[in-house]
Structures are given as C-alpha cells and as structure tokens.
Structure 1
Amino acid sequence: MRALTWQSKRTVTVEEVPDPTIQRPSDAVIRVTSTAICGSDLHLYELFGPFLSKGDVLGHETMGIVEEVGSDVTQLQPGDRVVIPFVIACGDCFSCSRGLTTQCETTQNRDQGTGAALYGYTSLYGSVPGGQAERLRVPLADFNATKVGHDLPDDRYLFLSDILPTAWQGVAYANLEPGSTLGVMGLGPVGQFVARIGRHLGHRVIAVEPVAERRAMAERYGVETLEMEGAVDALREMTDGRGPDAMVDAVGMEAHGAGAAAAAQAVVGLLPDALARPMMQQAGLDRLSAMMTAFDAVRRGGTVSLSGVYVGTADPIPMMTLFDKQLTIRMGQCNVHAWRDTLLPLVEDPSDPLGVEDLVTHRVPLDRAPEMYEMFQKKHDGCIKVVLEP
C-alpha cells in the first residue's frame, strides 16, 4: 500500500510499504477514506527526528471502512464505517475506567516513561504505524474504533479522531461558569474548535491569532479576535481590566516569538540521534510565548487550560506569578474516548453547530501530502486544515 513516511527533518515522502495485517485476535484493519494532517504532526516534521526512524508511517487523524477483523472482535464487522481515536487504549484498566484513556495501563509505554500508545507518533509512544496511508491496523478494535453511519460526509466525523475532542476537553478543563469570557491563544484547527465550542456553550470568546485568514474564519462564529501585538492589554481592556475568566492555549511548544528556545531546538536537531534523544528528554525547551501570554492575560483566580502540545523538561515557569494570581492550570493529551458520546450527536446534528464541515481549506490526494506538510507549516495559501484522501 501507499503511505506517508518520515525520512528526515522536513522531509516526508509517499512510499510503498507492506499492507497491515491482523496481528492479534483483537485487531481490525480498515481501508482509510480520509486522514488529516494535525498541528502536532508538524512537531514530527520539525523537531522529533531523534525519536523517529526512516520509513515510519505518520498520521493519527483517520477514518475509513473496516475490511477485516480478528477472531476476538465482536462489535465490528467488515463494511462498518469507523473513526479511529488517536489514542490506543484498552477501556478496562484503572485509568481507562476513570476516563483517562491517554494513561491506559495496558498500552502505556513504561520503558519510555510516557502514556498510552499513539498512532504514528515516535518511539516515545510505541512506534505504531499511523493512518496517513491506504490502510491502518487498529489494535483493541472493539474499544478503539467508533462506529458511525454511512449517510453523512467524512468531514462530519473525521475530527472525532483528535482535534474536536481535544478542543472540547480544553474548554471543559477551563472550568467556566455560565456566561464567562474565554480567551483563546491560536486559531489553528484546535483553536478554531475551542472558540466555536466556547460560543456554542454560551460564552463570550476572544481569540488571539496573527494570521488574518484564521481570524476571519473564527469571526464567522461570533468570536472576537485580536492580533498578537498588544493582545494582553487589549484582553484586559475588553474585560473590565481583569482579563478573561479562563485562557485556552491552543498553540503549544512551537509558538512564535521565542528566539532562545527556537535556537536551542535547532541546535538539538543538528545532533546525532544518540545525543539528541537524552538532551530532549532531560533538558528540552519549549517555545513558551503563547503559554506565558495566557498566564499574563487571564484574570486573577482564573484557569489556564493547555491544549497545545508541550514536551520540554527544563522549561522556566513563572511560579511566583502563578501563585500570586492564584491560577488553576489543567493540561494533558486528550482522552478522546471520554468525549465521543457527547460529541457524536453534535457532529450528526443537521445544523452542524460546531461547523465541522467548515474547517477544511485543502483536500488533496495522499500523493500530495509532502507539499501540504510544508504549506501547513508555513501557513501559506490560507491553509488551516488539510485532509488527505488515499
């Protein structure tokens, strides 16, 4: 089959790779109909080379049609249409029973000191082949494949794999009271959904984003938007001098405006893998400008919810500010399975209240994936969300 493979920093190619097969009785294999490029895929494209091997298949936002199931699979059969959460979990362990599927004790990568296995996301998370391919093996398929209908287009369901539940969790973690004001850092795909969910739940939403096309998309949903320059002062002026009740950072570790951390990341990227891996694991730095802005802008006693990915182990955090402002901080990989029953009725609602059919800006064949990674990273051509069709 054809699949998108990592080759080196900023180099991905579509190659012929072996078809996935049933390896365990609880597996299924699906034929992929749609798979998206996620903002966190860009971390692999730019930063995570030390934890990738040449030929690794990328991608973790996937849906398709079941082609084959193992002998222990009871909830699926060939022909079913399914969405695949990016997290691989068992559904039965201590963590899963508490809704913490990203901490699944069955698929947890204890040798790496990390959580549950993820599709297409480095040796830190199991080196599981991803879904930017013609086919995908789904482990523990009864729990990890969400069955959906055949009548609505893929865009109604595809984002249940990651970015829609990630956004929902980000807003849930913001702990907003009715009629609160929510600030959002970044209007990439997750930030767009964070802002729409905030509005859907009845909150005022003010988002900070440097790219005009992204601001314009959010404004269609009643979101107030600001450019980066002077954003903290503007957020306070718009909220009686206090700041928003909560901030969601939907940007993460590669925020702009952090030269020292960017330089450190670039240096590590030039090292041999054997040297780069321990440096990233023991002294890694994130670009923290989005998170620091959120800490600065949120009102005293407010909440900062981190949806953007952070991986640094030596990040400087302003503990005095956090303590003095009495802030609550919540974060973590999205426990996708915990939100799917809440979100499925919303994506199937004929009115499309979260605008899942109004996010994709580029839809292309799988063969064009390499150019789309570059376009998405550089934010060219109004690129906000890319869907690949194998």
Structure 2
Amino acid sequence: MHILIAGATGFIGSHIAADLRRQGHTVTAAGRGIERARSLAPDLHWIACDFRHDGAADWRPRLAGIDAVINCVGVLQDGLGDHSRAAHVDGAAALFAACAETGVRRVIHISAVGADAASGSAYARDKQDGEAALKALDLDWVILRPSLVIARNVYGGTALVRALCGLPWLTPVVGGKQVFRPIGMEDLCAAISDLVQPDAPARVSWDVGGPQRVSMDELVRGYRRWLGFGKTRIWHVPRWLAAPAFGLGDALGWLGVRTSMRTTALKQLDFDVEGDPSDWIAATGATPRGFDACLASAPAGLQDRWHARLGFARPVARWVLGLYWLITGILSLTIARGDAYDVLQAAGYEPAMQTFLLWFGSAFDLSMGLAMLAKWRVRLISAIMIAGTFAYILALSLTLPSLWADALGPILKVFPMMALALMIAATEDER
C-alpha cells in the first residue's frame, strides 16, 4: 500500500512511518521542518505540509496514488508557530475533505484520550471538533485516542516524566493520583498496521491503552527502577505552588520554547488521561502489553540515564550561560564601566578605541546572552560564544599577559564557560 502520514516528524508519526516502511509499504511522510527529518529518515518520501495554511486544494495533488492516510498532527496549545485550532480542526478538516474528493477512503486519525470540551482546555475542544469533522464525511475512518504512549525514544510528556526521575533524592509530582493506561509504541504501531488495511473495521472510534492501570506516582517509580536510579521520595506539589511554573511554560511557548509543563497539560491530567480500551481490545483481539512489560522488554542504557539526568540540568545550564553573557554586558556599561576602561587603558588602547571596544564588546555580550536565553539557533550561538572567547583570550594574552596569573582568574575562568557552551551545543537536539 501507499500510505501518507501527516505529522510524520512527530513522536507518534515518526514511529508509525518507520514501522510501515519496515513492513514493505510505500510511505509518503508529510510534516513541517522536513529538512532535518529527511536526514534522519532518508528512505521515506518527504513532502512539506503545514496545517496552518494548507487547504483541500493543496492536498488534492499530494493524494494522487495514495491508498490510505494517517493523521498524527497535533500541538499541545497555542504558541509561537503553533495554533491548536489550525492543527486539530481547520487543517485536519482540509486533509479529510481532500481525501473524500480524491477517493482516499481509509483515514486513520490519531486523537487523544480526554478529547472532550468538558475538560476546559482548548486542546480537548479542538481535538473533539477535529473528530467531528472526520465523522461527518463518507469515509472509512478510524479514530484512535491513545493514553500515554511509551517508547525508548521519548518526547513531550514522557520526556518530562523521565526528567523528573533524573532528579536526585526527591521527585516533585503535581497530583500523583492521575491514572494512565500506558501503551507501548510497538503495540500502537501494530494496531495501526492492522487498521490501515481496506477490510479493517471502519467508522469506529476507540480509546487505545494497555491493560495495566498506572498512577502518576507508580509511573515515576517504575521509570526510576528501569533507569536504575533506585527508590525516591515523591513530593506532591500543591497546585497553587506549581501554577507559576506552568504559567512560565505557557509564556515560553510564545517564545518558541516548547515544554510539557503548560496549563493545558495540567487540565488534561486532571480530566482524563486513562480512557477505556476495552471496546478496542474486544473488537480487534489486540493484546497490548502492560507498562511493566514494556519497560522490561528493553533494558535502559547509558543514553537513557544521560537523557533523564540532563532533562532539567541542561535547561538550567543554558539559562546560566545566557545570564552570564547578558549580565556581563550590562555590568560593562554600568557599575563596572570604570574598571573596563582601566583594563583597556592598561592594555595600551587609545581613548577612541577604548570607547569603541567597550561598546562593541558589551553589545556582543548582550546579544549572545539574549539569543541563548531565547533559544535562538543555540548551536550557532554557542559556536560564536566560543570563538569570541578565544578572541578575548588572544587579545588579553598579547596586551596584558599578566592576567593569566591574576588571583581572580579573569582569563582562566572563561574556560569552564566554553566547556559549558560546548556541552549545550552538543545536546541541543530535542527529538
């Protein structure tokens, strides 16, 4: 079969694409930012799409020769580059309408457990409206609402859980009693592989999950055992205390920094993240594994432990590095301005050159700090920081070599900063 997967750059979509390709299907993978995706999965046929702008007319030529469509597009909430209504309703409806117009009857739509406006989140309301748009069409549609999907490769909510597990001594959890029915990615892919066939059940919507009910507390403890981190004390963080952190997550979303700690996630956790997979299991005879069995099937490796421990350590490191540069630039123009001029004078620079170097250096520091804090092209900014620091070391070595032996270490102290920039650049990938 020739199958088109919308949202193939995402967590679920990328796994489905790889699984179907492994089975011998021809896969057309559609998504935003496909340049990076193409380098990671060059055996797939990649096409660019954007649910924020594409209409049915854009989709019709893309569907030529397609036997089935799987829609995995989704965003947690509005933010820079993300629009919930466009992703879940308008863009999805355009794709579904194009399927109806071109005769692509088999459409599998990946929704989410708790897709109900009663949850109070725009995410759930839009997910519900997207399902309604598909149900209104004369297509062989299948709607799947997965509970928590777990895989060796993680992103989003499961990445946050692992990051919490990577904290030493104490694991903060908001709530803790919310219940999931985790489903392994392999089991979800197997279900989709069966349901994409022309003779599979149609016009059905099912919650999809595993047989094991797992609370948030049990999820954390299970992942810590799997990672080899041992037991932990769970701190049930009051919602009033956690609210600022989730509000900060919303604000960061508008700066293009995506995090699972957002108010939508909290609303969905409180409403329903479990679902009831009994209808799906009864209708298909599926035998999904439980949470413990999924983890036991693949032992945690070094990269898993590194990822968990870096979950919070890396953002803190990026903020520390950004603030270091930003504050350095501010100090040079304010309370440390006189000291800066003294150093430049001792180095033998003329007054005019002193003023130029002070303002140029301060502007450079400020721009580097702001770019790092805004998470703008982090690898490039890290490289510029390192190059600029080498220039700083070279200039001072030629003009004031005595600073190498200064008790406060104005030259020696920049080497740890360069190492930090190198580590941040090396770990910039998020999915």
TM-score (norm 2): 0.30
Rg (Cα) greater in structure: 2
Structure (1 or 2) with the greater helix fraction: 2
TM-score (norm 1): 0.33
Which is bigger in relative contact order (C-alpha 8 A, separation at least 6)?
A: 1
Structure (1 or 2) with the greater strand fraction: 1
